[in-house]
Structure formats: C-alpha cells, structure tokens
Amino acid sequence: MASSAHAPADTFPKLLVRNARMFGDRPAMRHKDLGVWQTLTWAQLLDDVRAYATGLHRLGLKRGDTMAIVGANRPRLYASVMAAQMLGVIPVPVYADAVADELSYVMAHAEVRFAAVEDQEQVDKILSVSDRLPKLETMVYDEKRGLRDYDHTRLHAMEDVIAGGRKALAEDASLAAWLDAEIAAGKGSDTSIILYTSGTTGQSKGVVLSAERCIGAGSDTVAFDKLTERDAALAYLPLAWVGDHYLNYAQGLIAGFCMACPESGDTAMADLREIGPTFFFAPPRTFEQMLTRVTIRMEDASFLKRRMFYYFIGVARRYGEAILNKQQVPLHGRLLYWLGNVLVYAPLKNVLGLSNVRVAYTAGEAIGPDLFSFYRSLGMNLKQLYGQTEAFLYLTAQPDGQIFSDTVGPALPNVDLRIADNGEVQFRSPGQFVSYFKDDLKTKETMTPDGYVKTGDAGFFDGKTGHLKIIDRAKDVGKLKDGTLFPPKYIENKLKFFPNIREAVAYGDSRDFVAVMINIDLTAVGSWAERNNVVYGSYQELAGHPLVYDMIQKNIEEMNRSLAEDKVTAGAQVKRFLILHKELDADDGEVTRTQKVRRGFVAERYAPLIAALYDGSSEADISTEVTFEDGRKGVLAARVKIRDVATVPVAPPLGKAA
C-alpha cells in the first residue's frame, strides 16, 4: 500500500519523518516497563529522536563519526540508532553479551567516538577496556541504576541528553531548522550502519551497508509479504545481528509497523504471548525449544488431554499442511482438522503466543522436517529464508504456498543468484554491502571480478521446485579417505533433530570414518531422567550416565538407517561417538554468539578426544579451560567414554558420489 509513499525517502530518518506524518497516532514501539506495556507513537518517537539527536550534537557528535550501540532491545537503543542516523553518524551495534575483548576489538576497529549503552554492566565493560579505545570520548546510558557515583565528565544519562536537547529545541527555533537540514542532507548512498559479522569464520568483519540498499531490500520484502502499518513484531533478536536490523528496524520503518521490545531477555517468550505479533522470526533453535517445552508439558498432562493432543496432532500432520497449501483435502479431513483447531491447535498457538502470526520465518540453520511441518500443520505460515549480513539478509525466501522443509526458496525479486563451478552460491542484490570497513583486501576476496558476492555456502537449485538448497559451508564439505562425500552440517543437523541432542559436531574429513561429539539437551534429558529415576548432580554426571549413552546410541543408529537410505550419504554413517562433559559455550569461544559451532576451534580444543575417537580406545581424559561469566577462568577435567555404533552395511560408494 505504501509503495508510492516510500519512494522519496532514501534514508531511515526520512522514513521516520514520513511515518510520523502518515501514521502519527499509530504505535511505533512498545516496551514493557514495570510490568505494564507502554506505547510510543510514531509522532512521539520522532519527537524523542529529534530531541535526542540535538542533545547528542550538543555533546559534540557530528556527521561522519561512528557511535557504538551496546545493549538489549530497548526503545532508547533503537532511538540511538535513529538519532545517530539523523545526524549522519554511523551506528555500530555490538552484541550485548560480547566479552570485553570482543567489544573492544569492534569498538576500536570502528573508531567509535561515542557509545550508547544499556546499563551499568555495559559501562563497566567498556571502562575496563578504555585504554584500548583512545578515540572513545563520551558514553550515554539508558538505565541509571548503580551509575550515580560514576565520574560524569564523559558519561551522560540518555534521559538527560534527550531533556537537554528538547529544551534547546524549544528555546532556539533555528535549531529545529538546522536539524531539518541535517535530515535532508542525508543521502541514500551514505553509510547507514556498520554491522559486524558474528565471526563464524574467524575475526569479525565490519559490513558497511548503505541507506538506499537497506531500504531497497527492505521495501522488496515488505511488498513480498504484504506488511503494513497494522502489523506487529516482537524485537527480541540481538540488536547487532543483521536479522534484527533488517526484519524489525528496517521493515518496521518502511512498513510503519510496531516493534515491541521485551521486558528482559528472559521474558521474551512470555512477552510474545502478550503481544501476539503478526510477523515473527525465530531461528530453528527457538522453534525447537518451544516444541520441546510443549512436549514435556504434555507428558505431565492428564491422560485424556494427552490422548486428545496426540490424536489431533496426528490429524494435523495428515491434513494440516495440505490445507495451508490450499490443496485437495477430503471433507472428513477438513472437519476433523476444524475440530482439532477448536480443541488443540488454537489453544496451543495461543499459549505459545503465535495466534496472530500471519507471516513467520526461520533461517540461520537447517530446520528439522518434522519440526517445520509441526508448526505448519498447526496452520502457522512458517517459511524459510536465506541470506547473510553481506546481502542485508535478503537473498531467497519461500513465497506463500511453495513451502518445502529442505529448501530456502527461490531468489527474491531483483536478486541475481548463481552457483559457481565449485558449488558456491554467489549473488548480486539490492541489499548488497558496500565493503568491509577498513578491509579492502577482504572485500576484494569476497567479490568476483564480475561484481558478484561470494557467500561461502555450497548449494544447488533443486530440479523439481527451482528453489535453492544449501548443503553446507563451501569449505566444510569434505571427503572421507575412501572418497565418500562427507557433509558435516547435514549429519549434525539430522542428529540435532532428536530432542535429546542439543548440539553435535561431526568429524570425518580425510579420515576413515565419521565420528561425532554430542551435547545432550539438559531440558529434555533432565526431564527423562526425572521420569526414570535417574539421579544426577550435574550436567557432567548426566552426560556420562550409561543410560544416557544407550539412549543417544539408539538415536544415532536410527540416523544411520536414514543415511543408508540414500546412496550419496550412506557412506557417511557415524561409527563412533562420545558425549561431551560440558556444553559448548560462546564464552569459551566454542560457538559464536549466534550459537554456531566453530568446528576448527572445537577440534583443536578437544584434540585428545578426537584422537581417541579414531584410535579405538573406550575412554579418554580431557581437561579444558572454561571462562566464567565474569571473565575469570577455571579448569574443567573429565574422563569421557566413547562408544561404537552399529551401521547399516552398504555397497561400496558409487563413483558419482565420490
């Protein structure tokens, strides 16, 4: 509907001004404060941001500077991004849970002069590395608590900065005109934001995105999913992640819909229920956790409810997806589904907070086919998309009605996608990044001579559907010694689809066979232990329990049978496994902040375990350094058992597979 209206606005501040004019009284943001949802309309938001930008300008912030944004999803931090952009300042969001080293790396690399942070925790973290940040001059913070006694020569409360700006604007009429000129001076080709990659592949890089490209990509998907100012989203994804900036911030400003900020990180799922968003994104992991929670609670439900739940979930599995895809369904199927909706699906979606969802996406990792169809069969329009920071997340998405659990959809409008000879996916797109900040070498490495960007992901277009399928990181697809194809991600994802397995790391490249390290899921296995009177005192003890080993072994054997069904993957069956004594943790650098396993690092860290997987021993000792939340380090030692797994015998690999 708004396509004509947002044509002239080529920067986000201009969009904000437009929204205040067009949807002045509609909610722009909601935030739960002291247990009550507070609403900020577009007009109020613009007013606040103008005052904030003026206040920041009075503190010395000027066009061309960079400003770090550190904290959780709070309206004032989003306002900080807007205020910076209004002044022609480049915002640089940093992951709120980044440890001091990561934080100082990004802030120093981006040469930030200002930082807008959430609270005392972040102020302390930045102060602790201030000697590495010579360019940092001023910090503004949202939450006053605990900060009163700090030296306030370079530290200001956002509230005071905004109040100061508002007063100045009221007193000096020329200031408002100056601010209007600042907004008008912003060009579409200006750098809108620098987003640092999460560092799956080493040191994080600053991805420079321009305003017109961000808005170009955002406008296309707003049209693709028909998002309007009447939609609502829950902004709970990390502020520094491209997904949040794109799906919530950019789409929100373009379509004019309302972003609701959760009360705190822990309450996101409860807030989801209260807000009832119409547009929802979650990584597969979150959908998985939601389902695990439902399954566990159903185990505790009364006999009748349990029977009813499983019966109607069965009905949904038979007819639900077909109904959603508008295919032929027999009448009694429709009637049963209707009854199921009244008795089970609608109440269930209500409990999960998904009742109003019109468009839902998942991305980041492969989603289990069962998991995917579970949500779809309930009547939720869950789809997959594929993208990366360098493309402003905008490459492929599944259109309504063309949904497959193992594809990520066809190229989106205006995206030019191709597969290179080595299987790598490459693109040219509206949201394409400008460069890596201060790293021309990396920028050159990533671009092809003819102007395509290399994604680093291996994939192919599915013959039947024309959709893109992503197999793995291009450099991760390996081969066993006998030449059998070894796609580690594929195996890991298959394993992770078992509720008991939270994380799996597969090894096999240039080895004789495939072996895996497993992280159990404490919620699922813990609940199983409770039901079966298995006593344990710690994660480590539960992970090493023989009965847990038996259970995981059964899971792996089941996966081996499914791998054996396909000639290409039959050779990659898992022969040996172990269960790790600790959870892989971002603080120890084992997974990224977006919870992706850093395979190389893990291999190095657990080298003795991997050696033992391949030398036939039945147990191995390991001691690793762990980092506590406050940054101190300790050592964790354990003896880990290793087991063999039954495999399905297969014919020698075909030449084609090798």
Partner 1 sequence: MRAPSASDIAAGEILLSIENVSLSFGGVRAIRDVSFDIKKGEVRAIIGPNGAGKTSMLNVINGFYQPQHGRITFKGETRTKMRPYDAARGGIARTFQNVALFKGMSALDNIMAGRTLKMKRGFLWQILRVGPALTEEIEHRRRVEEIIDFLEIQAIRKVPVARLPYGLQKRVELGRALAMEPELLLLDEPMAGMNLEEKEDMSRFIIDVNDHFGTTIALIEHDMGVVMDLSDRVVVLDHGVKIADGTPDAVKANQDVIDAYLGVAH
Binding stretches for partner 1 (CB under 8 A): 32-36, 145-146, 148-149, 263-264, 266-267, 270, 628-630
Contact (CB, 8 A) for 284 and 365: yes
CB of 124 to partner 1, least distance (A): 11
CB of 210 to partner 1, least distance (A): 38
User: In this complex, which beta carbon is closest to partner 1, that of residue 148 or of residue 656?
Assistant: 148
Sequence-ordered list of residues with C-beta below 8 angstroms from that of 188, at least 6 positions apart, any chain: 10, 11, 210, 211, 212, 215
* Sheet order of strands, 468-473 included: 416-419, 424-428, 453-461, 468-473
CB of 175 to partner 1, least distance (A): 34
CB of 270 to partner 1, least distance (A): 7
User: In this complex, which beta carbon is closest to partner 1, that of residue 38 or of residue 189?
Assistant: 38
Please give the C-alpha separations between residue 493 and each of 16, 151, 368, 369, 406, in angstroms, as whole numbers: 41, 50, 7, 11, 12
User: In this complex, which beta carbon is closest to partner 1, that of residue 5 or of residue 294?
Assistant: 294
For residues 505 and 515, what is the distance between their CA atoms, to the nearest angstrom?
A: 9
CB of 266 to partner 1, least distance (A): 3
For residues 492 and 514, what is the distance between their CA atoms, to the nearest angstrom?
A: 11
HSE (CB half, 13 Å, CA atoms) of 228?
A: 6
User: In this complex, which beta carbon is closest to partner 1, that of residue 34 or of residue 304?
Assistant: 34
CB of 489 to partner 1, least distance (A): 33
CB of 263 to partner 1, least distance (A): 5
User: In this complex, which beta carbon is closest to partner 1, that of residue 36 or of residue 651?
Assistant: 36
- Smallest CA-to-CA distance from 540 within 517, 515, 519 is with 519
> 7: how many CB neighbours lie within 10 A of its CB?
9
Please give the C-alpha separations between residue 216 and each of 250, 391, 437, 449, in angstroms, as whole numbers: 10, 11, 21, 24
User: In this complex, which beta carbon is closest to partner 1, that of residue 136 or of residue 235?
Assistant: 235
For 154-169, letters b (16+ CB in 10 Å) and e give ebbbbbebbebbbebb
User: In this complex, which beta carbon is closest to partner 1, that of residue 565 or of residue 629?
Assistant: 629
Parallel, antiparallel, or unpaired: how do β-strands 468-473 and 453-461 relate?
antiparallel
Contact (CB, 8 A) for 248 and 239: no
User: In this complex, which beta carbon is closest to partner 1, that of residue 274 or of residue 406?
Assistant: 274
- Cα 134 from chain centroid (whole Å): 32
CB of 145 to partner 1, least distance (A): 7
Contact (CB, 8 A) for 458 and 471: yes
User: In this complex, which beta carbon is closest to partner 1, that of residue 151 or of residue 266?
Assistant: 266
At residue 139, what are phi and psi to the nearest 5 degrees?
-120, 140
Parallel, antiparallel, or unpaired: how do β-strands 90-94 and 155-157 relate?
unpaired
User: In this complex, which beta carbon is closest to partner 1, that of residue 119 or of residue 390?
Assistant: 119
For residues 12 and 49, what is the distance between their CA atoms, to the nearest angstrom?
A: 12
CB of 269 to partner 1, least distance (A): 9
Q: Where are the alpha helices (DSSP H) in 112-202?
A: 120-128, 158-171, 173-185
CB of 540 to partner 1, least distance (A): 15
User: In this complex, which beta carbon is closest to partner 1, that of residue 270 or of residue 339?
Assistant: 270
At residue 356, what are phi and psi to the nearest 5 degrees?
-90, 0
Parallel, antiparallel, or unpaired: how do β-strands 382-386 and 359-362 relate?
parallel
CB of 586 to partner 1, least distance (A): 17
CB of 148 to partner 1, least distance (A): 8
CB of 273 to partner 1, least distance (A): 11
User: In this complex, which beta carbon is closest to partner 1, that of residue 32 or of residue 473?
Assistant: 32
Please give the C-alpha separations between residue 622 and each of 515, 602, 612, 637, in angstroms, as whole numbers: 17, 13, 11, 6
Alpha-carbon Rg for the chain, nearest whole angstrom, is: 26
Sequence-ordered list of residues with C-beta below 8 angstroms from that of 539, at least 6 positions apart, any chain: 522, 581, 582, 583
User: In this complex, which beta carbon is closest to partner 1, that of residue 176 or of residue 269?
Assistant: 269
For residues 136 and 116, what is the distance between their CA atoms, to the nearest angstrom?
A: 11
Crossing angle (nearest 10°) for helices 12-22 and 75-86: 110
Token pair listed for 537: 């005192």
